[in-house]
Structure 1
Amino acid sequence: MGKRFFIPAILLMLLVVFQAQLWTGRGSISSVREMEQRLSVQLAKNTLDQASNDQLAAEIKDLQEGLGMVEEKARSELGMVKPNEMFVQITP
């Protein structure tokens, strides 16, 4: 009678241990959900950063290829005015 009780008790204990690990352990369901959320947030951030990197790469290429982009940047950001030009500012 002792062996008949011993094996099912061990199996039941193992089942309880594995279930506890599934619900509260390192690879638990809640832990996996949290990691999936963090992954989706990181993927969205990576997409935005990639778009920003592509824009900067295009600007670098334009700056390396011609002076038109340099002049445009100087006019818009630094207020460059060529000789014999008149600067006019219109306020709404």
Structure 2
Amino acid sequence: MKVITFALIALLALVQAELWFGKGGMPYAVALQTQLDAQLAANHAARMRNEQLAAEVSDLKEGLEMVEEKARAELGMVKPNEILVQVATPRR
């Protein structure tokens, strides 16, 4: 009787060890949760960037102020009879 009880306890311990530490066990679940958290953070950052770009596109479609600002900042364009002055800061 004691042998059967010991064998059943050993089998139960073996099954539990496999569930907790084997393939698909707790370490794997923790690694998956870490990957999920990282992906959720990346998705949030991408979503924020998409919203910013959508707002910029909307501004470009609706008004000329944004187009003028982009042309001045990125292309260095100036209006007629206007003088462009650029101030350079020293590099450290």
TM-score interval, normalised by the smaller of the two chains: 0.7 to 0.9
Which residues of structure 2 form unaligned runs of 5+? Answer: none
Select 1:84's aligned residue among 74, 81, 87: 81
Select 2:18's aligned residue among 8, 21, 35: 21
Question: Normalised by the size of structure 1, how large is the TM-score?
Answer: 0.79
Question: Normalised by the size of structure 2, how large is the TM-score?
Answer: 0.79
RMSD (Å) for aligned C-alpha atoms: 2.0
Summarize the alignment of residues 9-88 of structure 1 with structure 2, pairs less than 5 Å apart: 11-12=8-9, 14-88=11-85
Letter matched to residue 37 of structure 2: S
CA-to-aligned-CA distance 1:12-66 (integer Å, 9 cap, x gap)? 4541442232133333010011111111111111111111111001001111111
Q: CA deviation at 1:8?
A: 4.2
Distance (whole Å) between structure 1 residues aligned to residue 30 and residue 62 of structure 2: 48
Distance (whole Å) between structure 2 residues aligned to residue 64 and residue 14 of structure 1: 70
1:60 aligned counterpart, secondary structure: helix
1:85 aligned counterpart, secondary structure: coil
Which residues of structure 1 form unaligned runs of 5+? Answer: none
Q: CA deviation at 1:9?
A: 6.4
Q: How many residues align?
A: 89
Identity %: 49
